[in-house]
Amino acid sequence: MQRIDTLIPPGRPAARVELLLGDLTALDAEYALDVLVVSAFPGDYLPTPGSLIGALHRKGLSVEALATDKDVDLRSAYACWLSRPLAPTDPGLRFSRILCFEPATRGQPPEVVGDIFRALTPILAERPEIRRIGLPVVAAGDQGYAIPTMLAPLLEAAVHWITRGLPIERLSIVLYDAADVAAARETFERFKAQLTTPVPQDLSRRLSPEADAATPEPATVAPDYDVFISYSHKNTAASEALEAALRRLQPDLRIFVDRKDLDIGCAWQPEIFETLDRCRKVVALLSPDYLASKVCKEEFNIAWIRAREADQDIIFPLYLFSAALPTYMKYRNFFDCREGDADKIEAASKVLLKALASGPTA
């Protein structure tokens, strides 16, 4: 394996994103992975000669067979699924799981490549042993996209999610063909040169336990909002009922209610990140419509990352309508308001205000 270039995500000195030349099916121990990412057309795991899926098949590992017994299926939400733990017999297959990215499930690959990291958020929430991720430049093989076309949004998504706290220690992007090195190196170097915006000092310190302990902590900045209501627009009536109950009980409460749609072509959502960083509590109105909304899942994932890094009870899950909740959304106790019960929503507002009164202010 040949290292071409490396970058350190801002505020994460212990993490790295590396560009390599080599064979993901012939890894040395130094480059062992927890998860190998492959890409495929939806439901098509044919081991074609020039694909990574084909190379794995030639070494005795069938992605098609793994697909029949998935551990986590997030294709409708994030165009990805995760295999169950595996123990490949070939010594070059040094990874424990496959994450299969099927971008055409949700859009064009350059637009939705950020789904890899959106999918990893709930996966890493439940599987903290996963820290090392490896992948080719996805969709640049049989799917026909140029290396720079895929590498640029892949880097953007990776660095921004890792910078904000996604607990990846090493992301290895591996080229197989030496003919691709020049274009990939140019794209990588151009992206590194653009990393000029520093992470806020308080966030950088929170994300970096290795930071100098002798340096005094910066003063805590007061949040702009007390409550961020994360909800599907199809559940607007319930959101408005909660907001009205909160204002009746505490008229000066600072509430942020997002009325915008997000761009599916954006690898990360800076406005959402910034607003969620400035709220004391994030109320998630969980429902089937919430789970179907890319906006809601983005907000929940960002809030989960912030709660994990800050080690604070930031998320207030309000179970609005019965739904098959992912495990990571049930990791905290939720307030049960099914099925949109107005009295229970009123009661939830009182519990939330009590939590705000007793909890940290930032």
Sketch the domain layout of the chain as residue ranges. 2-206, 225-358
pLDDT for res 268: 53
Average of pLDDT values for 94-100?
97
Residue 51 has pLDDT above 90, yes or no: yes
By DSSP bridging, strand 16-21 and strand 170-175 are parallel
Considering the entire predicted model, what is its pTM? 0.76
What CATH class is the domain 2-206? alpha beta
Residue 97 has pLDDT above 80, yes or no: yes
Cα–Cα dist 254/116, whole Å? 34
Of 167-181, 223-237, 292-306, minimum mean pLDDT range: 292-306
Cα–Cα dist 159/152, whole Å? 11
Cα–Cα dist 204/220, whole Å? 13
Q: Which residue has the higher pLDDT, 358 or 346?
A: 346
CA distances from 11 to 16, 154, 198 (A): 11, 19, 8
Residue 219 has pLDDT above 50, yes or no: no
Give the helix/strand (H/E) hosting 301: helix 294-310
pLDDT for res 341: 84
Q: What is the largest CA-CA distance in the chain?
A: 66
Q: How crowded is residue 146: how many other Cβ atoms within 10 Å of its Cβ?
A: 14
Contact 288, 325 (CB under 8 A): no
Banded pLDDT at 357 (limits 50, 70, 90): confident
Q: Which residue has the higher pLDDT, 203 or 52?
A: 52
Contact 93, 27 (CB under 8 A): yes
Share of the chain above pLDDT 90, in %: 44
Q: Which residue has the higher pLDDT, 227 or 106?
A: 227
pLDDT for res 325: 80
- The first and second tokens of residue 260, run together, are 């915008």
Q: Which residue has the higher pLDDT, 330 or 92?
A: 92
pLDDT for res 116: 94
Cα–Cα dist 298/58, whole Å? 37
Average of pLDDT values for 155-169?
90
Q: Give residues with Cβ within 8 angstroms of 124, minimum separation 6.
A: 130, 166, 167, 168
- Over the stretch 236-260, which tens digit does the pLDDT of each residue have? 999 999 999 999 989 989 988 776 5
pLDDT for res 120: 92
Cα–Cα dist 205/199, whole Å? 9
Contact 93, 25 (CB under 8 A): yes
pLDDT for res 327: 72
- The full DSSP string for 323-338 is ----GGGGSSPPEE-T
Q: Is 252 buried (19+), middle (13-18) or exposed (0-12) by CB count in 10 A?
A: exposed
Residue 295 has pLDDT above 60, yes or no: yes
Average of pLDDT values for 269-296?
82
Average of per-residue pLDDT values in the chain? 84
**What is the architecture of the domain spanning 225-358?**
3-Layer(aba) Sandwich (3.40)
pLDDT for res 211: 37
Of 125-139, 156-170, 316-330, minimum mean pLDDT range: 316-330
Q: How crowded is residue 74: how many other Cβ atoms within 10 Å of its Cβ?
A: 22
Residue 180 has pLDDT above 50, yes or no: yes
Of 159-173, 217-231, 264-278, minimum mean pLDDT range: 264-278
pLDDT for res 269: 60
pLDDT for res 351: 87
Banded pLDDT at 200 (limits 50, 70, 90): very low
Name which of 203, 138, 143, 207 is nearest 175 in CA terms: 138
